[in-house]
Structure 1
């Protein structure tokens, strides 16, 4: 099973993943759990050398993040019992969703374009979508020390990306999308403004508990089959 944590910058994706992972490891003690960070820089890759200088070059950023996604996804054992990631293919789809309108691409064409670029990473089985009110996000941005990605830290950018996510998930739930992806969208949404990461994790574990039980039972079945063989 593949679980992806999605959401706007500042919604607490990394913090949630760090909090959720040990809880999953405890609950799925006998299972193989792997983590994926598809946007993490690739050591010594030539494209990484231009990252800070080309923040306004969207074509470069799209190529770079596709390389990162394919690289990190290639190093994951997708037969593991559970893979959990901070961001997924959905990030790339959402970030450029409004660009597809400008290029006169349909939702399907946009999906296919991104899918060609990021061909290795699969679609998540479960998506955890985080959000928070605008004023909370803006206050969190002020405390950040990162010097990149500042174009994402405006009210206009927040509004656009939030709309993009909403439209993307609506399309992914459509009949047209599912004839292409062959996968239903299973989406859980949480507001991180007024709950601690621990409280949000409690909600998540409760919401996906049935899936976690299925992972445990599948693992037990595999082990019993292996022993009997």
Structure 2
């Protein structure tokens, strides 16, 4: 079970991990918040691996479930109306992805998220830790150095950052988390490189719709909180016009 959560990036990361596993020829199911029932697949299909997107709502009702590989992308304020407008309750819900893990399991997380770093010692983590970061820094086992993606554990892996299909800092994090997950699953390096370079992305998430008279139109309508919108804008390289709404 490879389980992914986070305030932002979980659907893209889930889809990317599934793409890598599928491209490597593994018998893998895709389930959870992404729209496919895990229970139905377990009852009617026989997969060797499951890649599961988990929202905080789903994690709230997780008691005996165990993630062999747990991925926590980030934690920023979201859905606080469900948690009595208490950020700590939301944080605790996200960290439920690590409960029931053993020393044989893996916990992958963003090393520079201040909330995650603050909470690490509070949750009795037993799994092996695999932190990732944008650049080489203390503690991180995956990062970019001199334009090259480096994953140092459990098996050394590298590829040129410019070869990644997904662009922008936030998508670098998604690619690093997916690469570590595939590495832990024992997928061969050449399959990981190819899948990270030919992934087509996810609808409504920095989705390139069309280019008209030199103007590129990008659909990022799934950016429903401040942080996800900020990351999308940060990834733009030219003059940008933002159209947004909501309340």
TM over 0.5: no
| Range class of TM-score, shorter chain | 0.3 to 0.5
Instruction: Determine which structure has the larger strand proportion and give its number.
Output: 2
Structure with the bigger RCO (C-alpha within 8 Å, sep 6+) is 1
TM-score, structure 1 normalization: 0.43
Relative to its length, the structure with more helix (as a share) is 1
